[in-house]
Chains A and B, each alone.
Chain A
Amino acid sequence: MESGRKQTRVALIGNPNCGKTSLFNFITGLQQKVGNFPGVTVDIKSADTQLPDGSSVSWVDFPGLYNLYPTSRDEKMVVQSLLDTKDRFHPDLICYVADVTKLEKHLLLLHQLKDMDFPLVLVLNMIDLAQKEQLEIDAGLLSGKLNVPVVTVSGRSGEGIPDLFKEIGDQLSNNINARISDSGIYTFSEVEKNLTQQLASIFPSYSAYKRLLMAHHAQWLPFISASDRIHLLSILGENAFKSLPFQVREVTQRYHFFTPVVASVLKQKVKDGFTFSEKLDGLLTNRIFGLIVFLGILTFLFQSLYSWAEWPMTLIEEGFSSVGNYLATHLPSGWFTQFLTEGLIAGLGGILVFIPQIALLFFLISILEEIGYMSRAAFLFDRIMQIFGLNGRSMVALISGGACAIPAIMSTRTIASWKERLITILITPFISCSARIPVYTVLIGLVIPSRTVGYIFNLQGLAFLALYLSGIFAALLSGLLLKWWIKSDEPSFLLLELPDYKLPVWRNVGLTVWEKVRTFTLEAGKIILIISIALWFLANNGPKAAMADAGKEAKREAAERKLSAEEADNLTKAYLLETSYAGILGKTIEPVIRPLGFDWKIGIALLTSFAAREVFVGTMATIYSLGQNDDELTLRERLAVEKNPETGKPRYDLATGISLLLFYVFAMQCMSTLAVVKRETKSWKWPMIQFFGMTLIAYLSSFIAYQLLQ
């Protein structure tokens, strides 16, 4: 441990949709952090808190799973942590969270964990819902029959949490060193008995049931040494051990054990007819109406991004403008003031102005997730998704991709089929993420008039939607191509639980928004800021002799054309920028991007955007604040007055604007995404294919658009 003091690690484990994360959020609040470690991408959340009795506890929120026989990567990670005592998330104590309204189905995993000899507390969650559904539970009796301490809580309201803390405290003050028992609840068959006895030579410190699990997972568990694995597999071969039939045997036997237990402790009023969720699903998963609702939700999502986020954005934009202006007039002029106003503040403003849109997008997406709509979307589109080599669950990734490709790519871990998962990973970055919003906003504001068409639709909002649709279209088309190209004979399946609709827990929504905005501001912001500053340097410095010549040349020309002092100053700045290192860089790539309608200034922004798309705006802000004296103008206004020196027409006309927009829709301009794809696919092959493929599509579509519109 970092602190050098052994902290008790308490894991929250439970089936998907058991309300585990709500509970975790309630307990840990803003203290949680997402663990990310070299080698594997782990998005396991953890947080350190102190219990009321003073003992300090490190909470870990594991992904949900149904039993100890995982099918997806997410679930495998949990099983690995539980079996490997050296794993950094290996728990000392497990808080097993079960939805009390689905108790019977949620007891299976608890039953297995008990045989693994973990100290356990059974947390019956959603007790508030149970009361509403007139469901009575005898927690004391259940505790007695299962021989596990039981606490009833509500992760929504926090009811019962103090009892949970007390129970954990009691458990911790008892000796919780893992016992090893050879008599679990599960009664082995002869084959399993023989097998686990033989395996004792390889895993002497493991209980019989743990040894059995090692046998089931012999193929993939990464912490088994090569020699142990050979030994293990040969024992399995001698016993003709087949995993699946024994899994079914075990699980069935466990059900026989606890089904009567549940029946004896639970009093439930039998309800006739359909539940509220079932009735609602009659509409929301309906062939026609369900699709209309889905499209309606998407349209609402993107329209609201444009209309609701407008005023806070203007506020931030103008705020930064006036701060810059104030500093420029009140600080002594010099390179530092210039750096502060043109480099730092221009760059910073370029980041912060997009927080309202990012927050809003994550706010709406996490509400959809919270109420349970996302799994319905997966169900609705599974068949269609299969056409494109995807899975219904890919829908969740594609929608989250609308916020950020990184969490979206991580969410594909629930897809069991490798081929479907890989295709989802490869095409997700085509979906317009929040980092593209800045670019879209600036450029649409420039080239598309703000008009109302068809009474309610804002033309700019529609253009926004069209860009998103182009991304989706490209994603699906690539899926088709990849499905045909990537060969696989592994079976694919979809078994998806559709949880009951619930009102969103606002704490969860708030925490998601806070976490994403914070990540954007800190992570993306760091890159944007560094690049803005580097760019400011490159744009203000150049080869000394050439810079001096350019200055003289500008003065001569100004005198010749009899320009005013201000105009002469602007001309000098423009000449200097062109001669600077940044200018040289942009001019070098200009021949390549000229057919797309881009000049060297846009070229500089394109180059920096390959680090991260949102850098575009910061770059533009830095470049264009250099040539101007009027600090009152926002970036959008500055771009609008920019003229093409050859034609005298606005630089950002429709053709250039659309061409640039299309480039940003399709190009793979995000280093962080490439890094995540590399980690998730375990090779450079896929991120490289993704990078070159997407950038080629971007170049070609921009080329075609510009040549047609010009």
Chain B
Amino acid sequence: MVKVHTNEKILSCAKVGVKGVVSYFKDEQVACRLISMGLVPGSTIEILHKAPFGGGWYVKSESLHIAMRNEEACSIVLR
């Protein structure tokens, strides 16, 4: 997790193994998509793997596994 000046913990630039609870989403478009897939504020979230070539994240939230890019991970703010 990376601390930004607003004290937000963001699920990006994070490392494999990082766990947290989703607080809110910074981007509405991503928010809508993630919520409808079942990743809602309050869900636990954990980074399991990272794709090769500097690629995206393999994220686990309860029984759900989602692949996402850095840009999407950037808009997930953790508690």
Contacts and interface: CB of A to CB of B under 8 A. Distances in A.
Nearest to A251: B35
A40 to B, nearest CB: 25
B51 A285 contact: yes
B37 to A, nearest CB: 6
B63 A101 contact: yes
B51 A248 contact: no
Contacts of B48: 278, 281-282
A493 B67 CA distance: 11
B66 interface: yes
B58 A493 contact: no
Given A379-B51, A379-B58, A102 B64 contact: yes
Contacts of B35: 248, 251-252, 255
A380 B52 contact: yes
A496 B55 contact: no
Interface of A: 66-67, 69, 71, 101-102, 104-105, 108, 244-245, 247-248, 251-252, 255, 277-278, 281-282, 285-288, 290-291, 375, 378-384, 392, 491, 493-500
A255 B66 contact: no
13 contacts: A66-B37, A244-B31, A247-B32, A248-B35, A252-B41, A255-B35, A282-B48, A379-B55, A383-B56, A384-B55, A491-B29, A495-B37, A497-B37
Contact of A495 (B41, B54, B60, B72): B72
Contacts of A71: 33
Nearest to A104: B38
A108 B36 contact: yes
B69 A382 contact: yes
A384 B53 contact: yes
Contacts of B34: 495
B58 A498 contact: yes
Contact of A496 (B40, B54, B67, B71): B67
Contacts of A105: 37-38, 63-64
Please provide the 7 A-B residue pairs with the shortest distance between their CB atoms, ordered closest to farther.
A105-B38, A383-B55, A67-B36, A379-B67, A287-B52, A498-B65, A244-B28
B35 to A, nearest CB: 5
Given A247-B32, A252-B40, A285 B63 contact: no
Contacts of A379: 51, 55-56, 58, 67
Given A278-B48, A495-B66, A496-B67, A382 B55 contact: yes
Interface residues of B, number: 33
Nearest to B30: A493
Contact of B64 (A375, A392, A497): A497
Contacts of A252: 35, 40-41
Nearest to A68: B36
B66 to A, nearest CB: 6
Contact of A493 (B28, B40, B72): B72
Main secondary structure of the interface of B (DSSP, over half): mixed
A290 B33 contact: no
B71 A277 contact: no
A384 B58 CA distance: 16
B49 interface: yes
B68 interface: yes
A496 B65 CA distance: 8
A248 B58 CA distance: 24
Given A380-B55, A382-B56, 10 more contacts: A278-B60, A379-B51, A379-B56, A379-B67, A382-B67, A383-B52, A384-B55, A491-B29, A498-B65, A499-B65
A464 to B, nearest CB: 27
B67 to A, nearest CB: 4
A101 B30 CA distance: 25
Given A69-B36, A379-B58, A248 B67 contact: no
Nearest to B28: A244
Nearest to B37: A66
B63 A494 contact: no
A493 B71 contact: yes
B20 to A, nearest CB: 18
B68 to A, nearest CB: 5
A499 B48 CA distance: 14
A248 B28 contact: yes
Nearest to B53: A383
A496 B56 CA distance: 11
Given A382-B51, A494-B56, A497-B37, A245 B72 contact: no
B31 A248 contact: yes
B49 A285 contact: yes
Contacts of A287: 50-52
A285 B65 CA distance: 13
A69 B49 CA distance: 29
A259 to B, nearest CB: 9
A107 to B, nearest CB: 9
Given A281-B49, A290-B52, A383-B54, A255 B69 contact: no
A481 B31 CA distance: 33
A296 to B, nearest CB: 15
A255 B40 contact: yes
Nearest to B68: A495
Nearest to A376: B67
B42 to A, nearest CB: 9
B77 to A, nearest CB: 14
A251 B58 CA distance: 24
B44 to A, nearest CB: 12
Contacts of A380: 51-52, 55
A494 B72 contact: yes
A288 B55 CA distance: 13
Contacts of B52: 286-288, 290-291, 380, 383
A375 B66 CA distance: 10
A244 B26 CA distance: 13
Contacts of A384: 53, 55
A74 to B, nearest CB: 15
Contacts of B36: 66-67, 69, 108, 251
